[in-house]
Amino acid sequence: MAISVCVVGGAGYIGSHMVKLLAIKGCKVTTLDNLSTGYRDAVLAGDFIQGDLSDTVFLDNFFSEHAFDAIMHFASFIQVGESLQQPEKYYQNNVVNTLNLLNSMCKHNVKRIIFSSTAATFGEPKYTPIDETHPQTPINPYGRSKLMIEQILSDYDQAYGLKSVCLRYFNAAGADPEGQLGERHDPETHLIPLVLQTASGRRQEIKVFGQDYDTPDGTCIRDYIHVCDLCDAHWLALEYLFKTSSSQSFNLGNGSGFSVKEVIDTAKLVTQKEIKAVYTSRRKGDPAVLVADSTSARTILKWNPKITNIESIVEHAWKWERFISAMPIQGS
């Protein structure tokens, strides 16, 4: 009998890639999304139900009508800058709405969840690469909202037997190698799609914040992990929950970083386009280096990222950018 999985936020960037993988794995997949930032046409398989985690009556009916073996939760607001300006929005959606989801799960005896967390729970790195024992001292509401859910999940495990795996992403990047899916954030804040939008002519320039960091070329270094490798980690985390019935947290990254300048130079090679970069002052709260130590995920989950070179990551994202830039302009 096929595993039944509900992907909350399955119309978004990572969630839509996960829906595709789950279908390939033979799961019965249901996407739950309010389409506030996701796209209905990004859900390539399974059932789709539009609904909002803020609506507890809807959630109660939803779980009464559908039986799930596990939940994968991707539905969060993710912009660090916006979270500083509008913390209420982030605590309401990322914390309160997630709490609604967890309470409905417990009420209806759904006892497994994979939670999308973030490297932002660590705050300013005290050392790199960052492993799971690194202190979690987030410096913005986005990171705090994710850490709060990690802590709540720990409490819910102890009290209610709700088993969870928290996966802390570093920099999700790339796109479906077959060109069916990719990033469509509005507004876009991630470096690689911004660089490629400049290459395709959708943007005039890419801003580089700071060139005087203590790195080889003076620009920030980040750990970019391909979205398909992230999805593989979610699948392995699901298998882990079924095998062990124990909760765990893992950091997900390639373990090596690429600088902003390296990403731009790679994009120039891949696209064969000139990309105008405008160097400006540092942004507050941008660490020089953010790189993951994913030893735990590699050892316990047997996770092995497959698309680790920056050229392939950019190539897949460029394939998607060429497709999406040729589409008629749509609202989000």
Residues taking part in catalysis: 142
Residue 257 makes CB contacts below 8 A (sequence gap 6+) with 221, 222, 223, 224, 289, 290, 291
Query: How big is the chain, counted in residues?
Result: 332
Q: Can you tell me the distance from the alpha carbon of 105 to that of 86, in angstroms, rounded to the nearest whole number? A: 28
Return the structure tokens found at 172: 């999700």
Which of 92, 11, 31, 70 is closest to 238 using CA atoms?
A: 70
Name the residue with tokens 């690689």.
192
Helices 260-271 and 310-325: angle between axes, nearest 10 degrees: 60
Instruction: Retrieve residue 162's tokens.
Output: 């709700």
End-to-end CA distance of the chain: 37
Q: What is the CB neighbour count within 10 angstroms for residue 243?
A: 8
φ, ψ of residue 211 to 5 degrees: the values are -135, 25
| Backbone angle region of 306, left / alpha / beta, with phi > 0 → left and psi within -120 to 50 → alpha | alpha
Alpha helices in the chain (DSSP H): 13-24, 56-65, 80-85, 87-90, 98-107, 141-160, 191-200, 227-244, 260-271, 295-300, 310-325
- Going by the DSSP 8-state scheme, the letter that residue 93 receives in this structure is I
SS3 274: coil
Nearest of 169, 121, 173, 140 to residue 320 by alpha carbon: 173
Largest Cα span, the chain: 57
For residue 200, the one-letter residue type is S
